[in-house]
Amino acid sequence: MKLKSKGFSAILLAVCILLVLSACSSNKQTDTGSAGSSNANQGSNAGQGGTAGKITLKLWYWNGAISDSTIEAAKTKFPNIDLQAEKLPSGDDYLTKLKATLVGGGDGPDIVAMDSWVTSMLTYKDNFVNLYDQGARDIQSQYLDWKWKMAATPDDQYLIGLPIDVAPVVLYYRTDLFQKAGVPSTPADIANQVKTWDDYLNVLKKVKDATGSTTGNLADIFNTAMGQSSQAYFDEKGSYIGDQAVVKGAYDLAVKAYQAGVTFPYTNDTEKNAAINNGKISSFTGASWAVGDLISAAPGTKGKWNIAYPPGGVGNQGGSFFGALKSTKHPKEAYEVIKFLVSPENLVTAYKEFGNYPSTPEVYTKPEMVNKNEFFGNQDLSEVFAAAAKDVKVAHVDPRDDMVRTAITDALVAVDKKQDPEKAWKDAQTKIQRQLSH
């Protein structure tokens, strides 16, 4: 019995030694993994679902949000990260998918691109990594202040995204047709002599009389005017203000242009592009990304266009961000990748590849930003975009903005089809109030 007890003790001792050794081994593996996740440039964390020896970061974006070459550069920059970038359809489908992930939880990406609706994502800020906690204040001064604040809470204590690009609005115009009408036709003359919307309407009347051409449709004017305002459809408390002076003023401006006979009929993009190509539309206000659209729409007008500082002041229509979801296991690495993707140097690359204008003003005067385009008579487009990108006023964004904007656009379409403007406005407001009451 005594021998039996002694043998049992020996077995028990051996088991304990094995358990201790196993625990030490396990702790060692855990420590190694933690070190890997704390430093994107040096770490290693095998078994995280990616390539052996790497951690995995999944990234959602859409075509044009960031250049593919910049993503490839990030893979080289961070050899210990398996960066899996997934290009998704843009627009409402992307936003719906992102919201479903935020609300439903489950497997989502580590990094997400966000469009100018980023402010509406502040409602879900607890689902995002606070990039201030990762050191974002150290690079804040590199970016346009108004753009940076779009992804920050009003008290500037929580940041859900770093800016990628901006989309300053400028005036696109046919130089030859403006010259024929005897109106200001150089970018400098337009900037100095066509400062207000009334100035622009007077120019449009002369161009219409001399050439028969017009500007875009009523909705184009309304959207540009709204983009120049520091107020939109809802205030910071969520109260509806889309029936007040700012929105009504933009609506009345569009109607005024229509009644002056200087707007193009509301139509589909194909017919509108044809009108641009055949000279029926000789000017319009549009964001920087419209450069590519114009070149595609009107190849027969190459060399006849210029851009100028817009009437009514600066505005912005678009521009993206990158943020990290709180569900990521690697917030520091995600931040380091985001910081690299939106660095001033990489934003210059994106601008040169497909025209996304950087959100980092320090690069605006660099030689590599010179963008002389044959389609625009070899004008350096960057000079105008740089001037238009500064001092943009940003209105509060609300998830219900699209519903209101659609209702008012429908009213402008009705005006274009001869409906009384005041009746169309009242009908739109009734429709909006009915939907807000649900």
CB 291 within 8 A of CB 385: no
Give the Å distances, CA to CA, from 261 to 8, 25, 214.
102, 80, 8
Tens of pLDDT along 158-210? 999 999 999 999 999 999 999 999 999 999 999 999 999 999 999 999 999 99
Q: What is the amino acid identity at position 369?
A: M
pLDDT beyond 60 at 3: no
CB 94 within 8 A of CB 116: no
What pLDDT score does 25 carry?
40
Beta bridge partners of 358: 165
Greatest pairwise CA separation for the chain in angstroms: 118
Query: What does pTM read for this prediction?
Result: 0.79
pLDDT beyond 80 at 19: no
**3-state DSSP assignment of residue 171:** strand
pLDDT beyond 90 at 138: yes
Instruction: In whole angstroms, give the CA distance from residue 269 to residue 267.
Output: 7
351 or 52, which is more confident?
Answer: 351
DSSP letter at 243 equals: T
| Beta strands 55-62; 81-88: pairing state | parallel
What pLDDT score does 396 carry?
83
Instruction: In whole angstroms, give the CA distance from residue 117 to residue 119.
Output: 5
Instruction: In whole angstroms, give the CA distance from residue 216 to residue 262.
Output: 8
Instruction: Work out the percent of the chain whose per-residue pLDDT is above 90.
Output: 69
What pLDDT score does 52 carry?
67
Q: What is the amino acid identity at position 139?
A: I
Using 50, 70 and 90 to split pLDDT, how confident is the model at 50? Answer: low
Tens of pLDDT along 231-269? 999 998 889 999 999 999 999 999 999 999 999 998 888
Which pair of structure tokens corresponds to residue 421?
């403007």
CA nearest to 350, candidates 113, 173, 181: 113
Mean pLDDT of the chain: 87
Mean pLDDT of 122-145: 96
